[in-house]
Amino acid sequence: MRSLQSRLGYGLTLSLIAVFTVLWFLVSFSIQYLAEEYVTSRLRHDAEMLLGAIQFDKAGNISVDESRLGPVYSKPFSGHYYLITSAKQVVSSRSLWDQQLASTPVKTGEQNSRYMGGPNDQLLLVINNGFVKQGNALSVTVAEDFNPVSQSIRQFKNRFAITAIIMLLLLVMLQVFILRHGLKSISRIRTELQSLQRGDADQLNANTPIELSPLVNEINHLLSVMEQRLRRSRDALGDLAHAIKRPLTILQQLTNKNQSTLPADLHEGLAKQVSEINQLTDRMLKRARLAGQSHSGARFSFSQDLPELIETLDSMYSNKSITVQVNLTEGIRCPIDREDMLELLGNLLDNAYKWARNSVSITINVNATLDICIEDDGPGTDINQLQQLDKRGVRLDETKQGYGLGLGIASDMVREYSGTLSFGTSNTLGGFRVDIALPVEEDVFIPVDTEGS
Amino acid sequence: MRLLLAEDDADLVATLKKDLEAAGYAVDTADNGIDAEYLGDEGIYDIAVLDLGLPGRNGIDVLKHWRASGSTLPVIVLTARNAWHERVEGFKVGADDYLGKPFHVEELLVRLTALLHRSSQQPGGTLRVCDLVLDEERQSLTTTDGRIHNLTGTEFRLMRYMLLHPGKILSKSELTDHIYDLDSDKDSNVIEVYIRRLRQLIGSDRIETRRGQGYVFKDF
């Protein structure tokens, strides 16, 4: 769907163009009409003045008292012409020179007007009046060159169009500005949503216009409900783990303590079952605790959580001196829930530390996917067994909680995030190598400074 | 070695306490976070086993408070939740080691020994000072002449404490504090009896008496 801003922008621009076009036509017609009206009325006055200057002699011949007329009628092709037609005679103004003015007959007391071509490409507005003077019917035709008026009108129209276009552009700009300003809260919410996805924020800013506040409040409400639900379920699972582990610990200790008095097979069976229950609950509970691809909860931070995790592992394996090499692109963000990521990396690194002789390496890259590669310089594992590793419940080393359980939990997590997990032999360190690719939402990697886009 | 066991599960405490005592620890227990924090602040413990799921005040807060008040008490954290973020949190607030439930007592004992050695800067493995070798599993002492002596519980505790603190003046009250738990009948005169026994084994010049101050184990 097109953006709200461009839709509003197009709509407003089109309606402005329509308004200005209609206005232009209206003004053009009006000005033309007014000019014609004005010229016509002037010509009528000229005709009446002419009528006053007309005299008939006894024979009924017309004579025009030129002194009563303005000089425009004497100057050739001045643009002002007259033609007097009586029953006997046709008298035309000197300004017509050798040209003729076609006259249409008109009844007494009537008037008609029309345009016609005149000398020197003049456009003449011609009015015809029918009069009776001293008992003689005459038609007085007065014409004026309309070109100068038309030219003024054209000039006015052009100026008007230019002004209108400038106004239109200014209005469009103003309107874009108003829209930007008005939609700022929407683009702010957009950037906030991005930082929400990245895990930089856990709520949207509730200080929004009233039109948007129900939406924002609803999102905030859902977020807090989801977060609460996740926390509650994690707490409940923690309590469940606590509750199950308590009798398990005691059962295990009773079994161990009574090793000498219990029949050997019974002891072995008990010990095995206890460790089975323990591993199963661990795995089930951890799977149930996964946040998955929800946007609630804190995100894992490579710059903060990863060093802490490595310190933790260093303390746990303080009897070994293991060098960890972290290959990490500066400043990348992890779009994955903190606890999930700690669980995933914790289990994988725990395996690596457990088997490594001297060094462990972690390589993290973010492209279309989040790629994690963990290698160690331990003994590695047989490729045939590797293929069974991530299947549920298959363990390579039943007694040592070896690669199996940790990798099982890791593979549960990868599955939850619809990623891939593969094992192999490290080329650089020679030991075990795990490769993980987790799909990430593209949005997450847009830099923060996209405001106003 | 005086050990604080902060764990709320009475059944587990009962079996664990027995095992720990058999391994030569004087064990005091706390079944809630508030007591645990109070006891830990006493400064009489050599090591603590702290469950994170304590009622009253959770283990993380207890540990945080200890560390905030400057305590360097070595702490092994026990937890049933076993989640990595908890482990990270535990180490971040100052845990020295971590053990997920359920655990084997042997593993806990190994970790306790390792942690004690680490915190008194003794190299790992068996406890060896000069030519004296203390086998903490068998609670026996190998002396300079290569003979192996089995020690009684109190002798072992006393010997271990001295080996872990060589060259330092150890007063009688400090020794009783670290050898006996709260419920024991503390008679500092008994210490003299045990010192005499140890002198017979390792030579009387190895343990010097400082009048009015206490004893010094010499590690030359």
**Residue B66 has what pLDDT?**
92
**Residue A401 has what pLDDT?**
44
- Quickly list DSSP for B134-160: EETTTTEEE-TTS-EEE--HHHHHHHH
A vs B, Cβ pairs < 8 A, gives 94
**Residue A154 has what pLDDT?**
92
Q: Using one digit for the tens of pLDDT, what is the confidence trace for A332-356? A: 777 788 888 888 899 889 888 888 8
The verdict on B162 and B196 lying in the same domain is yes
Contact A256 B104 (CB under 8 A): yes
Element (H, E) at A80: strand A80-86
Q: Tell me what the mean pLDDT of segment A271-277 comes to.
A: 85
Measured between CA atoms, how close is A291 to chain B, in angstroms? 13
Q: Which of A151, A180, A202 is the last residue of a domain?
A: A151
SS3 at position A372: strand
Q: Tell me what the mean pLDDT of segment A277-302 comes to.
A: 75
Which of A161-170, A265-274, B176-185 has the highest average model confidence (pLDDT)? A161-170
Residue type, A66: E
With a cut of 90, say whether residue A99 has pLDDT above it: no
Measured between CA atoms, how close is A402 to chain B, in angstroms? 15
Q: Which of B119, B140, B170 is the last residue of a domain?
A: B119
Residue type, A331: G
User: Does A423 fall in a domain?
Assistant: yes
Measured between CA atoms, how close is A362 to chain B, in angstroms? 17
Backbone φ/ψ region at A430: left (φ over 0), alpha (ψ -120 to 50), beta: left
What is the percent of chain A with per-residue pLDDT over 90, rounded to a whole number? 11
Cβ-Cβ contacts under 8 Å for B204 (sequence gap 6 or more): none
> In this structure, what token pair is assigned to residue A200?
């930089």
The verdict on B110 and B51 lying in the same domain is yes
Contact B97 A316 (CB under 8 A): yes
Contact B85 A249 (CB under 8 A): no
Cα distances (Å, whole numbers) of residue B219 to A85, A205, B191, B207: 151, 67, 20, 9
The verdict on B107 and B134 lying in the same domain is no
The verdict on B131 and B110 lying in the same domain is no
Among chain B residues, CA nearest to A286: B83
Measured between CA atoms, how close is B99 to chain A, in angstroms? 9
User: Does A262 fall in a domain?
Assistant: no
pLDDT higher at A334 or A46 = A46
Task: Say which of B11, B83, B101 has its CB closest to residue A289.
Answer: B83
With a cut of 80, say whether residue A60 has pLDDT above it: no
CA dihedral sign, ordered B121, B123, B124, B128: negative
> In this structure, what token pair is assigned to residue A110?
């009537």
Among chain B residues, CA nearest to A278: B102
With a cut of 70, say whether residue A143 has pLDDT above it: yes
The verdict on B111 and B166 lying in the same domain is no
User: Does A368 fall in a domain?
Assistant: yes
Residue A449 near residue A389 (C-beta atoms within 8 A): no
The verdict on B12 and B83 lying in the same domain is yes
Q: Which of B100, B119, B138 is the last residue of a domain?
A: B119
Domain that residue B210 falls in: 127-217
**Residue A386 has what pLDDT?**
57
User: Does A322 fall in a domain?
Assistant: yes
With a cut of 60, say whether residue A288 has pLDDT above it: yes
With a cut of 80, say whether residue A262 has pLDDT above it: yes
The verdict on B147 and B112 lying in the same domain is no
Q: Using one digit for the tens of pLDDT, what is the confidence trace for B41-69? A: 888 898 999 998 888 898 899 999 999 88
With a cut of 90, say whether residue A155 has pLDDT above it: yes
Could you give the count of Cα atoms lying within 13 Å of A356 in the half-sphere of its Cβ?
A: 28
d(CA A200, CA B94): 27
Q: Which of B119, B154, B170 is the last residue of a domain?
A: B119
Among A413-427, B35-49, B112-126, name the one with the lowest average pLDDT: B112-126
The verdict on B110 and B6 lying in the same domain is yes
pLDDT band, residue A399 (cuts 50/70/90): very low
Q: Which of A105, A134, A151 is the last residue of a domain?
A: A151
pLDDT higher at B58 or A452 = B58
The verdict on B20 and B104 lying in the same domain is yes
CATH number at residue B190: 1.10.10.10
User: Does A192 fall in a domain?
Assistant: no
CATH number at residue A337: 3.30.565.10
Among A35-49, A81-95, A222-236, A276-290, name the one with the lowest average pLDDT: A276-290
ipTM of the shown complex: 0.71
Contact A316 B92 (CB under 8 A): no
Using omega within 30 degrees of 0 as the cis cutoff, is the peptide bond preceding B102 cis?
Answer: yes
**Residue B141 has what pLDDT?**
86
d(CA A309, CA B88): 6
Q: Which of A91, A118, A151 is the last residue of a domain?
A: A151
With a cut of 90, say whether residue A18 has pLDDT above it: yes
Q: In this structure, what is the dihedral angle of CA atoms B53, B57, B60, B63, given to the nearest 10 degrees?
A: -120
**Residue B30 has what pLDDT?**
92
Contact B87 A316 (CB under 8 A): yes
Q: Tell me what the mean pLDDT of segment A207-227 comes to.
A: 86
CATH number at residue B75: 3.40.50.2300
Mean pLDDT of chain A: 82
The verdict on B131 and B114 lying in the same domain is no
Domain that residue A452 falls in: 297-453
Most B CBs within 10 Å, among A231, A239, A246, A412, to test the B interface:
A246
CATH number at residue A137: 3.30.450
pLDDT higher at A120 or B17 = B17
- Which residue is it, tokens 């800067």? B121
User: Does A332 fall in a domain?
Assistant: yes
Residue A299 is given by DSSP the state: B
| Nearest alpha-carbon partner for B91 in A199, A305, A322 | A305
**Residue A402 has what pLDDT?**
46
The verdict on B6 and B115 lying in the same domain is yes
Q: Domains in chain B: how many in total?
A: 2
Residue A143 near residue A101 (C-beta atoms within 8 A): yes
Q: Tell me what the mean pLDDT of segment A48-59 comes to.
A: 85
**Residue A373 has what pLDDT?**
92
Residue B77 near residue B52 (C-beta atoms within 8 A): yes
The B-side interface with A (CB below 8 A) comprises 9, 11-12, 15-16, 19, 53, 80-85, 87-88, 90-92, 95-98, 101-105, 114, 118, 124
The verdict on B114 and B9 lying in the same domain is yes
pLDDT band, residue A452 (cuts 50/70/90): very low
Among A366-375, B137-146, B166-175, B177-186, name the one with the lowest average pLDDT: B177-186
Q: Which residues of A touch B104 (CB under 8 A)?
A: 252-253, 256
Measured between CA atoms, how close is A445 to chain B, in angstroms? 25
Mean pLDDT of chain B: 85
Q: Using one digit for the tens of pLDDT, what is the confidence trace for B184-203? A: 766 767 888 888 888 888 88
With a cut of 90, say whether residue A237 has pLDDT above it: no
User: Does A434 fall in a domain?
Assistant: yes
With a cut of 50, say whether residue A189 has pLDDT above it: yes
pLDDT band, residue B76 (cuts 50/70/90): very high
Measured between CA atoms, how close is A429 to chain B, in angstroms? 26
Q: Domains in chain A: how many in total?
A: 2
Task: Say which of A245, A257, A309 has its CB closest to residue B15.
Answer: A257
Q: Tell me what the mean pLDDT of segment A153-174 comes to.
A: 91
User: Does A132 fall in a domain?
Assistant: yes
